[in-house]
Structure 1
Amino acid sequence: MTFLLSQLAHSQETAQNLFSQYRNALYQIQMIDKESGNKSSIGSGFRISDQGDIISNYHVISDYVYFPDKYRIQFLDANGNTGELTLKNFDVINDLSLLKIDPANTSGLYFDLAEKLPQQGSLVFSLGNPHDLGMIVVPGTFNGLKKNSFYQRIHFTGSINPGMSGGPAVNSLGQIVGVNVATAGNQIGFLIPLPKILALYQNHTELAVSQYKQQLQKQLHNNQQDMVEQLLSSPWQYGVLGKARVPEKISDFISCWGGSNASEKNVRFLSVSNRCRIGEQLYLNNKLQIGEVEIEFEWLTSEELNAFQFHNFLSKKIAFTRPGNVAGENDVSNYRCNQDLVTNAHGVVQKSILCARAYKDFDDLYDVLYISASNNFETSSLISHFTLSAVSRESMNAFTKQFMDAVSWQ
């Protein structure tokens, strides 16, 4: 008990020292609507050089990237001073932005970047401005990198609340080890790790406003291509679903679950399914997130429906399939679909529908929706479905081919 009290006292003392030392390097980042002059959203940021370089999240300033004529970026410092910030560059994949403040508007110490990540179990301090209540310091535990994730995140045990996004996470020396990015509640937080900050800060070139969309497209294209290549090169694990043999796990960063209606009463068909999702998305703006991957196989069979009734049932089920990500008419075109009856490499006959819609701001990026129903049995069928978000035409075609040929009969 004495040891725990001593640890708590040390933690509180360290937090107080950190705040008093670095308060002038902490900022509230505000998105200001030019028409009203009022802030529309807030986050946090921190200074990492005597030249005025500030790190925050991409999602904190995303409205400015999309609508630079409508918004401006403003800081509020610990002394109540405000002023404009410029956006130098960003990393949408890792949710980072690099901003600049006029060095004449700065004073005191700036945060140093650590040389390496701390050991698992180390004490880490998260700083930020939760709910517009003023800057605070939250102690927590560094739990290493999040497992089974395509996007590297630090698992942090501590309270990260709205408004703290973009704030620094530091070791006991005040050195940056990560950036606040998200919370799952119940003292489960996530940080962007140090190497991603270093990559943006050390390798950036300053962007003009006219280059923002080009930078987004380049980063999205490279990331989605890398993701699909990893999905296609991973050894797919197979299992039995009804009379079919289907992939039941295609990557460590895609989580899968099974289910059935076998315990339900008064159903006229048996449904057994395997559903997989990535569970992570990329934030582009407050109305658009991309990066969804959905894969689903469902075995349907009935002893009560005749062949005609079963066919109608299948047709209605396919008609109500929807894409995994939501995008508006300002962002994407309408879906265009091709329907065909195909036989895959294992002799499985499938009535397939492949749909794609294009992103209006980004060349060669598409949302893809695929669904098929096997046609080998009168009152049984395998429904295969996937959705991909913001992938190239080349990635779409490669994934579709491998997915279609992955199904076989036992």
Structure 2
Amino acid sequence: MNTTKYSAIGQCAHWLAAVSLSVCALISGPAYTQELAPNNKPAVDSGQQAKHTISTFKDSIFQVRIINVDSKNARSFGSGFYIGDGGLIATNYHVINSVLFEPENYRAIIEIGDEEIPLNIEAVDAISDVAILSVPVKRPALALSAVPPARGERLYSVGNPHDLGMTIVEGNYNGLIDNRFFDQIHFSGALNPGMSGGPNLNANGEVVGLNVATKGNQVGFLVPVDKLKTLLVDLEVGKYSEEELQQKVGKQIQKASHYVVTELLSPDWPIEDMGEALVVGKVHPNLHCWGDSDEDEDNHLIVIKRGCHSAASFPIYKTLTSGFVEYEFWHIQGKDWPEYSYYRMLQKQVSHARPGNQAGEDDVENYTCEIDIVTREQDGLKRKISYCTRPYKKFKGLYDVFYMGVTLDKSHVAVMEHFTLSGVTQEDSAQFLEKFIKQVAWQ
């Protein structure tokens, strides 16, 4: 095989959209109390009384500010709340990941009055998007709910959207989101940037989840509180150094990607018609699939496209996202094209292909590609393939993988195939390639 190095490529096409705030009210009310939402307290039906309950704990919920050391100004904002013994704060991992990987450039604080209170990262779960920080000033901790809400139950997300001050957003609990590899709660409330990491509370003031993301039109996502409980247990094992926490993130990525690849490889893959070809269908219920077609009458070109991808990726740090999986197929038929022109057009299509996850030059090395022309023995299918990997700089043993193949055995019809794996080991990517490359065939 020929080995060629390419510049790092990749543009993320899967960012969540921001939306405007809807039902909300500024928190106000009496100072906090040590009596924190006892579990045996009956649920409150009145939304107004629930807001009063939440306002009771307003001094245990804070804006988490990420400060640039040089400029001494905030780079970003999130929200957080006191947990445990009153010396810990919970927030989202993505709120503080810049502090974890660039402590020389960033620090995390909360403000109590006019005083900046420093926060120190103690535990992280990059996959669930949870972090625990220690704080030298103790406050009453919010109670963590022992049971999940009932479907349709009224909930209250608290946070600091757009640096506007602490705000309550009301919505309903709609259970865990279907067809996801990793659990998130569907919350019908309009979350906004800056609310990330804030608590989502039931009417008794107990935490049922953490605000994490929004997809517009009253569709919000929460991290289940059980993920925070698990991280608290992990913290009891012992303290971790900054380097150990960074390496834990790498291990979390590897464990998550191995789980996803194993899930994808375990079933028999459905094979479906696509023009003159047979291609892979939806191999797992947790994938989101799409399809389209286009006929260019002027150029006598017919293109059928289809593919599947995972619903989300993990924001690891700044420009690096991981955990994303996709595969795609293009059936390209060029009527009345000269053979030479047709293959030049195919080459152009291949050159425009990009992986589905985002990474920058500080995150990954350049792609190294193995390029070959292979013929499958059992049916004579001839393809030009390109199998490219780029190693992660911060996480040894993890790679992004980008595969492209195009059939060469028909003069005016071709199938292009592609897959992206991100944050995988070489062993997992090799197993996926071995199965994937056997699937495409002519009818």
TM bucket normalised to smaller: over 0.9
- Report SS of the residue matched to 1:35: coil
CA distance in 2 between partners of 1:83 and 1:15 (Å):
27
Q: Are residue 206 (structure 1) and residue 239 (structure 2) matched?
A: yes
Which stretch shifts more, 134-143 or 206-215? 206-215
Encode CA deviations 1:102-139: one digit per residue, 9 max, x unaligned.
2xx234x3211111211110111111111112112222
CA distance in 1 between partners of 2:166 and 2:399 (Å):
41
Instruction: Determine which of 426, 429, 434 is the counterpart of 1:401.
Output: 434
Q: Are residue 274 (structure 1) and residue 306 (structure 2) matched?
A: yes
Equivalent in the alignment of 2:27: none
Equivalent in the alignment of 2:336: 304
Q: How many Å apart are 1:346 and its aligned residue?
A: 4.8
Q: Are residue 89 (structure 1) and residue 123 (structure 2) matched?
A: yes
CA distance in 2 between partners of 1:318 and 1:159 (Å):
40
Equivalent in the alignment of 1:119: 150
CA distance in 2 between partners of 1:65 and 1:9 (Å):
41
CA distance in 1 between partners of 2:319 and 2:329 (Å):
29
Equivalent in the alignment of 1:328: 360
Which stretch shifts more, 343-352 or 50-59? 343-352
Q: Are residue 75 (structure 1) and residue 107 (structure 2) matched?
A: no
Equivalent in the alignment of 1:342: 374
- Report SS of the residue matched to 1:249: coil
Q: Are residue 100 (structure 1) and residue 134 (structure 2) matched?
A: yes
Q: How many Å apart are 1:9 and its aligned residue?
A: 9.1
Q: How many Å apart are 1:26 and its aligned residue?
A: 0.6
Equivalent in the alignment of 2:270: 237
Q: Which amino acid aligns with 2:419?
A: F
CA distance in 1 between partners of 2:299 and 2:307 (Å):
21
Is the 1:258–1:275 Cα contact (8 Å) retained in structure 2? Answer: yes
Q: 1:344 to 1:170 in 2, by over 3 A?
A: farther
CA distance in 2 between partners of 1:292 and 1:340 (Å):
26
- Report SS of the residue matched to 1:394: helix
Equivalent in the alignment of 1:140: 171
Is the 2:355–2:402 Cα contact (8 Å) retained in structure 1? Answer: yes
Equivalent in the alignment of 1:185: 216
Q: How many Å apart are 1:206 and its aligned residue?
A: 2.1
CA distance in 1 between partners of 2:324 and 2:45 (Å):
44
- How many corresponding residue pairs? 397
CA distance in 2 between partners of 1:290 and 1:210 (Å):
20
Is the 1:269–1:304 Cα contact (8 Å) retained in structure 2? Answer: no
Q: Which amino acid aligns with 2:344?
A: N
Equivalent in the alignment of 2:94: 59
Q: Which runs of 5+ in 2 are unaligned?
A: 1-43
Q: 1:80 to 1:165 in 2, by over 3 A?
A: farther
Q: Are residue 355 (structure 1) and residue 388 (structure 2) matched?
A: yes
Is the 1:149–1:253 Cα contact (8 Å) retained in structure 2? Answer: yes
Is the 1:292–1:388 Cα contact (8 Å) retained in structure 2? Answer: yes
Is the 1:344–1:404 Cα contact (8 Å) retained in structure 2? Answer: no
- Using structure 2 for the length normalisation, give the TM-score: 0.86
Q: Which amino acid aligns with 2:144?
A: L
- Report SS of the residue matched to 2:423: strand
Q: How many Å apart are 1:181 and its aligned residue?
A: 0.2
In proportion to residue count, which structure has more helix?
A: 1
Encode CA deviations 1:66-95: one digit per residue, 9 max, x unaligned.
101111111124x55431111101000011
Is the 2:174–2:187 Cα contact (8 Å) retained in structure 1? Answer: yes
CA distance in 1 between partners of 2:328 and 2:105 (Å):
41
Is the 2:200–2:209 Cα contact (8 Å) retained in structure 1? Answer: yes
Is the 1:15–1:139 Cα contact (8 Å) retained in structure 2? Answer: no
Runs of 4+ in 1 over 6 A off after TM superposition: none
Q: Which amino acid aligns with 2:131?
A: S
Is the 1:346–1:405 Cα contact (8 Å) retained in structure 2? Answer: no
Equivalent in the alignment of 2:17: none
Is the 2:53–2:203 Cα contact (8 Å) retained in structure 1? Answer: no
Q: How does 1:240-251 map to 2 (within 5 A)?
A: 240-251=273-284
Q: How many Å apart are 1:179 and its aligned residue?
A: 0.2
- Report SS of the residue matched to 1:316: helix
Equivalent in the alignment of 2:205: 174
Is the 1:24–1:106 Cα contact (8 Å) retained in structure 2? Answer: no
Which stretch shifts more, 385-394 or 315-324? 315-324
CA distance in 2 between partners of 1:316 and 1:50 (Å):
60
CA distance in 1 between partners of 2:239 and 2:119 (Å):
14
CA distance in 1 between partners of 2:164 and 2:228 (Å):
26
Equivalent in the alignment of 1:259: 292
Higher relative contact order (CA 8 A, sep 6+): 2
Q: 1:128 to 1:398 in 2, by over 3 A?
A: same
Equivalent in the alignment of 2:65: 30
Q: Are residue 49 (structure 1) and residue 84 (structure 2) matched?
A: yes
Instruction: Determine which of 23, 48, 64 is the counterpart of 1:12.
Output: 48
- Report SS of the residue matched to 1:112: coil
CA distance in 2 between partners of 1:191 and 1:111 (Å):
17
- Report SS of the residue matched to 1:339: strand
Q: 1:344 to 1:148 in 2, by over 3 A?
A: farther
Equivalent in the alignment of 1:372: 405
Q: Which amino acid aligns with 1:247?
A: V
CA distance in 2 between partners of 1:304 and 1:377 (Å):
13
Is the 2:50–2:205 Cα contact (8 Å) retained in structure 1? Answer: no
Q: Which amino acid aligns with 1:16?
A: H
CA distance in 2 between partners of 1:9 and 1:386 (Å):
50
Equivalent in the alignment of 1:318: 350
Q: Which amino acid aligns with 2:105?
A: K
CA distance in 2 between partners of 1:324 and 1:84 (Å):
37
Q: 1:234 to 1:194 in 2, by over 3 A?
A: farther
CA distance in 1 between partners of 2:372 and 2:78 (Å):
49
- Report SS of the residue matched to 1:196: helix
